[in-house]
Amino acid sequence: MATAIEYFKLLPKTNCKDCGQPTCLAFAMLLANQKAKLEDCPHVSGEAVEAMKESSAPPVNTVKVGTGENAVAMGGENVLYRHERRFENPIAYAVSVSDSWDAPRIAEAVAKAKSLAFDRVGMVFRLDLVSVSNDSGESDEFLAAVDAVLADWDLPIMFEINDVGVAEAALSRHAALKPLVYAGETADVEAFAKLATKHGCPLGIRAKGVEAAADAAEIAAKAGCKDLVLDLGASNLKECLEWQTIARRAAINRKFRPLGHPLMNRVGCGEYAVATAVLSTLKYGSLVVFDGLEPYEALPLFTLRQNIYTDPQVPIQVKQDLYPIGDPGPHSPIMFTTNFSLTYFTVRADIEKSKIPVWLQIVNTEGLSVLTAYSAGKFEPERVAAAFEESGVLDKSDGPVVVPGLVARMSGKLSEEIGRDVVVGTNESKDIPKHLREITS
């Protein structure tokens, strides 16, 4: 990534403020922190924009598999350690089916892949791709297997093929889905690269070791293919950790483009496969392909991924909305709190414990908790009233409006804003059930 000074050199330096910043230097600092785009300055020249594109590209390419909102992005990384900024695109997980299986067995595997979805703190964790492996070596069997997968799978797919003729047949029919084509270690890299480029699809290549992978990436790049995912062919955990670390350091620290691609691991199934996936999740993998994955393996793995790929600068948030809890009616209490996920789920759990139906209004405080948001001026009575107005909750219920005890001081102003009496609730979420029983008895 370019530095603030490098960006500053390209700007007109007139401090005209048209970008919304007081000076060109302030704008350059936003650019360096990826909080603005060069195009946001209306006076920067087209040549300057072009000049910066190459040097500001992330050291690890971004590769997209699939299309539309379900597309899976891999790579795009700028840092070695998450605390330096953040990791950009979460590692993806795939399970493989074989074209030597019959259609019912493939359907069963796809159904199991779909079942690997978990709801946690308002986010759905799920498997990202299904991969079809050309174990038969035949085109017809492969195409039939892909059809069997697509009958019930609408997320991105991947093809594992060694024969370029089979790959041509598959891409001629399915290139519009932008599948990842993964060529095995013995495949002709140049032929696969030309094919992937012709069809505009990303390519995965496997080569044994860091140097071999860099060589293969250069062959693919010369053939016009830049959307690459590299499998370094590690055969144990030590190789996986060492080689992936070397590749990421070369990409980030030395801007070594042949290794500036997302990394993947093709693993089998069972505990060793999961251990490899854990390692790859922690250290620089962008895709792990399993032969099979059980729910008890997927849940901790997905949770680890969520932890590693959470932006440390952005609190986990829920959407500003009205959340009915326990079928509330026209006289049910109205409660409200901030959109910090932990606050929402804690308050929600304590309301549920009371068994008293409640309208819970969540107010967007940019992920801040109650006292922090109030101190930062993001949880004022006006903002709460606006959220009430947006959801129409005051028309749905004439029940008591409960102000969180920690911000009791907003009661008077809020009462004025909404034209209703309010009651002060508890300081601690755990006391909500008792308080709800008192105000509804």
Q: Is 16 in the site for ligand SF4 (CB under 6 A)?
A: yes
DSSP structure string for 63-112: EEESSGGGPEEEE----SSGGGS---SPPEEEEEEETTS-HHHHHHHHHH
Burial class (CB in 10 A: 0-12, 13-18, 19+), 381: buried
How far, CA to CA in Å, does 415 sit from each of 16, 338, 364, 381, 411?
44, 18, 19, 9, 6
Q: Is 19 in the site for ligand SF4 (CB under 6 A)?
A: yes
Which residue's CB is nearer to ligand SF4, number 16 or number 111? 16
Q: Is 29 in the site for ligand SF4 (CB under 6 A)?
A: no
Q: Is 17 in the site for ligand SF4 (CB under 6 A)?
A: yes
Which residue's CB is nearer to ligand SF4, number 48 or number 191? 48
Which of 166, 210, 215, 172 lies closest to 190, judged by CA? 215
Stretch that binds ligand SF4, among 19-27, 74-82, 205-213, 279-287 (CB under 6 A): 19-27
Q: Is 24 in the site for ligand SF4 (CB under 6 A)?
A: yes
Which residue's CB is nearer to ligand SF4, number 14 or number 33? 14
Q: Is 2 in the site for ligand SF4 (CB under 6 A)?
A: no
Q: Where are the beta strands (DSSP E) in 367-438?
A: 401-403, 422-424
Which residue's CB is nearer to ligand SF4, number 21 or number 78? 21
Size of the residue set binding ligand SF4 (CB under 6 A): 13
Which residue's CB is nearer to ligand SF4, number 15 or number 100? 15
Instruction: Enumerate residues 33-72 that contact ligand SF4 by CB under 6 A.
Output: 41, 43
Residue environment code for 15-53, b if the CB has 16+ CB neighbours within 10 A, otherwise e: eeeebebebbebbbbbbbeeebebeebeebeeebeeebe
Q: Is 15 in the site for ligand SF4 (CB under 6 A)?
A: yes
Looking only at the bridges linking them, the beta strands covering 334-338 and 358-363 are parallel
- Written as one letter, the residue type at 96 is S
In the set 3, 14, 33, 115, which binds ligand SF4 (CB under 6 A)? 14
Which residue's CB is nearer to ligand SF4, number 26 or number 342? 26
Q: Which residues bind ligand SF4 (CB under 6 A)?
A: 11-12, 14-19, 21, 24, 27, 41, 43
